[in-house]
Amino acid sequence: MICPKTFILTIIIFYSSIAPSFANESNQDKFGQNRADPSIYASFGFGGNYFGVTFGTELCYAQNNNIFSIRYLSANEFRFNVDGVYDQPALSMKEIGLLYGRYMFKASGQLSIAAGLGLLNGLDRGNQIDFHEYKKLEIHTLGLSFEGRFFLIFSKYSGIGIVLFGNLNPKKSFVGVMIEIHLGSFLD
């Protein structure tokens, strides 16, 4: 499992190391088109975290290098058993988050970092209560949602990218990586 502090530090170092290359760019892409400001787009992706597969969707509004987003993540433990019988409850997490951050636009890509409040609901394994059975622990908590995203813009309306995401909370923190498809208005 990746330590949340190490993960956040990695994002900050990555962000600060490439920020100067974005700072001197104009608002024009390689085709002479201006970036759409404001820009509205949705992203859909899949990836993983330390216990399983993650699916996510996000709606973003970007203007003047500020980005506001609403995201939904669903993560479920991946298990494979030939018999199909599991004695332990499967881990699962669902998160709805409101995030604010900053973005930088360059010729054919965008880099952003954001954080905000996330509502997390899920199921965790508790103590063993019988020979093979475990107690199911329901999780309902607020946490700090965060993400770092880079995506390439292929056309006026589409792009593909990668996002590092997570939620730090008192009950069950997690981090992960996802590949996303972005659809929306990126260029004028």
Domain ranges of the chain: 4-184
13 versus 30: the higher-pLDDT residue is 13
pLDDT in tens, 116-172: 999 999 888 777 666 666 777 889 999 999 999 999 988 888 999 999 999 999 988
Q: Which residue type, as a one-letter code, is found at position 52?
A: G
CATH class of the domain defined by 4-184: mainly beta
Contact indicator for 139, 121 with CB cutoff of 8 Å: yes
Exposure letters 25-34 (e unless 16+ CB within 10 A, then b): eeeebeeeee
Supply the mean pLDDT for the chain. Answer: 80
pTM comes to 0.76
Quick one: residue 81, left, alpha or beta (phi over 0 = left, psi -120 to 50 = alpha)? beta
The span from the CA of 71 to the CA of 96, in Å, is 6
User: What pLDDT score was predicted for residue 172?
Assistant: 86
Of the pLDDT bands very low, low, confident and very high (cuts 50, 70, 90), residue 21 is very low
Q: Which residues are CB-contacts of 99 (< 8 A; sequence separation ≥ 6)? A: 67, 68, 69, 70, 71, 114, 115, 116, 145, 146, 147
